[in-house]
Chain A
Amino acid sequence: MNFEDTPQEAEFRATARAWIGANAPKQYEDELRKSSLGRTVLRNADILDVAKAWQKKKADAGWACLHWPKEYGGRGSSPIERVIWQQEEGPFGLLSRMFIIGHGMCGPTMMAFAREEHKRTYLPPLASGEKVWCQLFSEPAGGSDVAGLRTRAEKDGDDWVINGQKIWTSGAHYSDYGILLTRTDPTVPKHKGLTMFFLDMKSPGVEVRPIKQASGASDFNEVYFTNVRIPDHQRLGEVGDGWNVSLTTLMNERSAIGAAVSTGFPELFEYCSSLMLDDGPAIEDRAVRSKLANWAVKASGLKYTSMRAISALSKGERPGPENSIGKLVAGSMIQDVATYALDLQGASGVVSGEDAELAGRFQAMLLRAPGTRVEGGTDEIMRNIIAERVLGLPGDIRVDKDVPFNKIPTKGRG
């Protein structure tokens, strides 16, 4: 049992570290290091510009999308090398968040289902950050129930005509392309009538409307399609096989192992270490200590769970559904941590933004945290994944499974 790299891993780490040391945008390091959930702001630069520049630099030197094949703009690295890169990239890795959907989901789906010429055309600029991609899956009628979507695609000559609406589309407002899941046959059960495409987000008839979130920020969008035309050669997979295609996408969504999971704990511990309460230092208070200790062991438990997964990767094993626990535990924890930090601030905790304690760090965390528990699968979906795929319990009963889509009731009452 040890934490040491193999000789090959150590060599890779040294090379990566040297390159990052010489090339990373160090002027933003402090701001990135201090960012916490709900707040990654660069005061004097647009974070998208900085992210694109860093990604391009990485791509030119062969460090972009490490796990992708070289011919599509990657490096052909092993999963463990990707983890080592993430560890070495440290706070600069936050900049890759801009591309997480494209690199993590759209790219792999294109690799599995697109024509070879499309892969060679579209994937390298996606890897290098020159083009940003989004994933158009969720709809007002289908969040966790992805297959309940209603956006229609109808064949017209060599094109498909798209009408409908998507929602919760991360980054659609600055995306160049997207992968789109549509319904092509409403007369068969819902999983059987779906078809996947990719499209240019600047196509006529695509309208992106940012959604203002509870936090006040706008990371997500509604996307409306009005008679949008997509050529048939941009179809991914067979007509009616969209559900299987989307499963490939969603399997790739499993959060990247090795990237640090944000729990809010280091921020809270640091805060409590210097905070004075009415009766003395917060860190001396029995109740505060108990809360901190309980969160400390969750944070360390996640950290070492991740290290166990990395060890498995290092031996060539594949990550399994057990890795769903990171998001499940961290999601509600960060929400509770933020709530508690504000409780310690007393009445003044209500003040947010620059006027607040620590420039509103915990207030921003509180307002962003609910999203973490929902995005990429709610806590409840995560628990289902653990129960079904790890513990082997029966799947949920789905009463609409064999019913033609156009016969499924759409409202709770009459």
Chain B
Amino acid sequence: MNFDFSDDQKQLRDQARKFLAEKCSPKAVRVVLDGKAPYDKELWKGLAEMGFLGVAIPEEFGGAGAGHLELCVIAEEMGRANAPVPFSSTVYLAAEALLIAGSDAQKKKWLPAIASGEAIGTLALFEGKGNPAPKNVKLTAANGVLNGVKKPVPDGAIADFAVVAARTGSSGRDGDISLFLVDLKGAGVEVKSLTNLDPTRGQAEITFSDCKAEPLGAAGEGWSILTQVLDRAAVLCAFEQVGGSDRALEMGRDYALDRIAFGRQIGSFQAVKHMLADMYVSATLARSNSYFGAWALSTNAAELPEAAAAARISATQAFQHCAKNNIQVHGGMGFTWEFDCHMYYRRANAMALGLGSLSYWEDQLIDRMRKKNAA
């Protein structure tokens, strides 16, 4: 059994970690956090040059063609560095949707542009409250023309194109939903930035008014494609969350060793030690579930849907747990703008909602486990 990343993959992880340590310091993240830029353009360019944006995109479409395990190790480092770039929306959502359902022409048009950093993509799925569900898609598509409002759309204000979920039928079933590709710089698109929990990753409201769009995948297949996209993104996001959990744990550990109170390092108090031990436990469980997700993703195993839901839940819980207790270990300092703790707290809680909230994934997991048991 070799349930671990290979030496080459670990080397790639080290390379990504080193690159991000240089180009994505907390100071650099703060430029975006403070609203001085919508995202870190220099970093984005650098990620493209390193080949990270197209690591899982086949060579014929301008990528490195390395595969999803390689993307997982990079995702972990993106989460560890809290990178303020549209990586998840472009690479996990838009690129994966194209890889799953795009025509050859669509792949040729967008995938090389993603890999080179020229195009930012996103997925426009949500329409206000509620979790992923066909009934929550109200935006309509008729004769390739979209009408409706999507929000929140991750990185919607900076994206060049979006994969949009639209209603094309009225049967009340999954088959009512189809996907479309929309050039967001074209006519009939109005974009408004929304303030959100994590300013290092923007959210937008996008209004489509008689907006022309081309189908992505077959009509009526939208929900089935979306489910696959969300499962893949769940695994990739889980790695970001694992990276974030580890970083939050490290920050807490380092502070506990550094800070003296009552004449002792606070890390010598059992209450603090045990809090950090519990952070380690949740981060470890999340990592192990995510590894299984990575295995399932990279081998396209039948276990992927269940593995993705488990990784999603475990990593979401771990990141939230580690980020909040990192602040607790830091005491009053942790709650200040000046310390970096809140950046991870924001990211953890924003990520917990991005692909649908925990209750959605809990339902998915139980349904999928039942299906497996019945089979």
Interface residues of A (CB under 8 A from B): 1-5, 9, 269, 273, 283, 286, 289-290, 292-294, 296-298, 300-305, 307-308, 310-312, 314-315, 322, 325, 328-329, 380, 382-384, 386-388, 390-397
Contacts and interface: CB of A to CB of B under 8 A. Distances in A.
Given A2-B1, A301-B314, A314-B2, A393 B274 contact: no
A309 to B, nearest CB: 9
B318 to A, nearest CB: 9
B277 A5 contact: no
Given A273-B370, A300-B310, A393 B273 contact: yes
Nearest to B318: A301
> Which residue among A1, A298, A325 has the maximum number of chain B CB atoms within 10 Å of its CB?
A1
B295 A289 contact: no
A308 B313 contact: no
Given A290-B362, A380-B274, A391-B276, A304 B292 contact: yes
B288 A293 contact: no
B298 A1 contact: yes
Interface residues of B, number: 48
Given A384-B270, A390-B280, A391-B277, A297 B317 contact: yes
A289 B362 contact: yes
Contact of A397 (B268, B295, B370): B268
A311 B3 contact: yes
B19 interface: no
> Which residue among B256, B289, B294 has the maximum number of chain A CB atoms within 10 Å of its CB?
B289
A49 B343 CA distance: 61
Given A1-B3, A393-B267, A296 B278 contact: no
Nearest 4 Cβ contacts at the A-B interface: A301-B285, A293-B362, A304-B288, A387-B273
A296 B257 contact: no
Nearest to B295: A1
5 contacts: A3-B3, A286-B359, A297-B310, A307-B288, A329-B281
B285 A298 contact: yes
B310 A4 contact: no
B281 A328 contact: yes
Contacts of B369: 269, 296
B373 interface: yes
A307 B1 contact: yes
Contact of B294 (A1, A294, A383): A1
A36 B314 CA distance: 25
A116 to B, nearest CB: 37
Interface in B254-290: 256-257, 264-265, 267-268, 270, 272-274, 276-278, 280-281, 284-286, 288-289
A386 to B, nearest CB: 4
Given A1-B6, A329-B281, A386-B280, A300 B69 contact: no
B365 interface: yes
B1 A305 contact: no
Given A293-B366, A311-B3, A304 B289 contact: yes
Interface in B17-32: none
B4 interface: yes
A322 B284 CA distance: 9
Nearest to B274: A383
A396 B270 contact: yes
A283 B363 CA distance: 10
B253 A273 contact: no
A196 to B, nearest CB: 29
Contacts of A294: 313, 317, 362
B295 A388 contact: no
B291 interface: yes
A407 to B, nearest CB: 24
Contacts of A384: 270, 273-274, 277
Contacts of A393: 253, 256-257, 267-268, 272-273, 276
Given A1-B5, A1-B298, A304-B292, A386 B268 contact: no
Given A314-B2, A380-B270, A393-B276, 14 more contacts: A1-B3, A289-B362, A289-B363, A294-B362, A297-B365, A300-B310, A304-B292, A310-B1, A325-B284, A328-B281, A329-B281, A391-B276, A393-B273, A394-B268
> Which residue among B272, B309, B362, B373 has the maximum number of chain A CB atoms within 10 Å of its CB?
B362
Contacts of A300: 288-289, 292, 310, 314
B268 A2 contact: no
Given A310-B1, A391-B277, A392-B253, A296 B267 contact: no
Contacts of B267: 387, 393-394
A283 B368 CA distance: 12
Contacts of A391: 249, 253, 273, 276-277, 280
A3 B281 contact: no
A305 B285 contact: yes
A273 B280 CA distance: 32
B313 A297 contact: yes
Contact of B4 (A9, A311, A390): A311
B268 A1 contact: no
B365 A296 contact: yes
A387 B285 contact: no
Contacts of A9: 1
A296 B2 contact: no
A305 B242 CA distance: 14
A301 B280 contact: no
Interface string B169-197: 00000000000000000000000000000
Contacts of A2: 1-3, 295
A304 B307 CA distance: 11
B13 to A, nearest CB: 13
Contacts of A286: 359
A329 B314 CA distance: 14
A329 B5 CA distance: 25
B17 to A, nearest CB: 19
B21 to A, nearest CB: 21
Given A293-B365, A387-B273, A397-B268, A3 B1 contact: yes
A304 B310 CA distance: 12
A2 B257 CA distance: 38
B93 to A, nearest CB: 23
A283 B366 CA distance: 8
Contacts of A383: 273-274, 277-278
